[in-house]
Amino acid sequence: MNTNRQWVLAKRPFGMVTEENFEYREEPVPEAGPGQVLLRNLYLSFDPTQRGWMEDRESYMPPVAIGEPMRAGCVAQVVESRHPDYSKGDLVQMLGSWQDFFVTDGKGGIPLTRLPAGITPRMALGVLGTTGQTAYFGMLDLGKPEPGQTVLVSGAAGATGSVAGQIARIKGCRVVGIAGGAEKCAWLKEEARFDDVIDYKAEHVDARIGELCPDRVDVFFDNVGGSILEAALNHINMKARIVLCGGISSYNATEPQPGPTNLMNLVVMRARMEGFIVIDYLPRFPEGVAALAGWYQSGELVHREDVQEGFENIPKTLNRLFTGQNIGKQLLKIADPA
């Protein structure tokens, strides 16, 4: 408890992230000042957007500085409190970093929030966390699915995609998912109750969308971009909504990737393509939590977490998102609550 282990950003990546991009350090445990809490990290969230935070470029958040602990969503426990709103032992959620301990006053763009009673760290970072919220607001606010419509989701077996597709199914849509590999596709059909799935690693995506979506696609929730986005655009319906949630196929690209060659389909089909960043919905997160928790408790929404362990495994866990090794929401447990 005297040492604060850290993984700091050592070098900006070019292509896939390697362990050389990070450096292991040990520092003394910091002390909470007036109005601050000392937190101990319990669980880390791994998110594709962390790859973008490692780049020195303008984005929706500043880049992580060289020498700084790598930024990450986390659930932590209050070890010492000099803050009137938090007590020792409280479980909290925030945007933290890859280290055992840190101090905060709880303010900032993404504030410190206490986990509601009965909500585990895994749920807080998983189905009720950022990826669940992204699926909820992206699908409902931008996708606007209507009963009987056809909804296509890429990255469908992942944390965001699996929830997005199930929300569309709950809203009465026919849902087709695109994912990599037989195991993920089987889970989508059998557990998450997607109507159909396309294994993009084994099937011709464009042809299969045509076969499985005979009435064309009303909502495309895209996590992948690139050739999958292009294939989907070939099958959009009149007034379709294309929700640009992410484009993971290009996050490790070392040169600019070509855009879809068929954007004119948006014109012909009077369709709308729109991006979003979930943090803009922070004030509405309680609405998202209430809806997601309700569906989860009633069994309409299933969710998986992939929990790695060991502080030494933190850097390599990030790449599981880009190799598709993660089965559900990627987390890493550092410690159990005291």
Chain residues that interact with ligand NAP, rule: CB under 6 A = 47-49, 130-131, 134, 155, 157-161, 179-181, 184, 223-224, 245-246, 248-249, 276-278, 321-322, 324, 326, 329
CA pair distance 266, 53, nearest whole angstrom: 31
Q: DSSP state, 141?
A: I
For residue 332, the Cα-to-chain-centroid distance in whole angstroms is 14
In terms of CB distance, is 38 or 70 closer to ligand NAP? 70
Q: Identify whether the C-beta of residue 132 lies closer than 8 Å to the C-beta of residue 214.
A: no
Residue nearest ligand NAP by beta-carbon distance: 158
Identity of the amino acid at 307: V
- Min CB(226)–ligand NAP separation in Å: 7
Distances (CA, A) of 149 to 143, 173, 188, 235, 241: 11, 5, 19, 13, 11
What three-state secondary structure class fits 76? Answer: strand
- Min CB(277)–ligand NAP separation in Å: 4
In terms of CB distance, is 32 or 151 closer to ligand NAP? 151
CA pair distance 298, 118, nearest whole angstrom: 16
In terms of CB distance, is 122 or 329 closer to ligand NAP? 329
In terms of CB distance, is 32 or 167 closer to ligand NAP? 167
- Min CB(21)–ligand NAP separation in Å: 18
Q: Which residues pair with 102 in a beta bridge?
A: 39
Q: Identify whether the C-beta of residue 260 lies closer than 8 Å to the C-beta of residue 160.
A: no
- Min CB(333)–ligand NAP separation in Å: 17
- Min CB(33)–ligand NAP separation in Å: 32
Query: Under 8 Å CB-to-CB from 167, ≥6 apart: which residues?
Result: 135, 136, 139, 140, 145, 295, 301
In terms of CB distance, is 127 or 278 closer to ligand NAP? 278
Query: What per-residue string of b and e applies to 188-209 under the rule 16 or more CB within 10 Å gives b?
Result: beeebebbbbbbbeeeebbebb
Strand pairing report for 91-97 and 71-81 = antiparallel
- Min CB(311)–ligand NAP separation in Å: 21
In terms of CB distance, is 40 or 329 closer to ligand NAP? 329
In terms of CB distance, is 68 or 183 closer to ligand NAP? 183
Strand pairing report for 113-114 and 91-97 = antiparallel
- Min CB(185)–ligand NAP separation in Å: 9
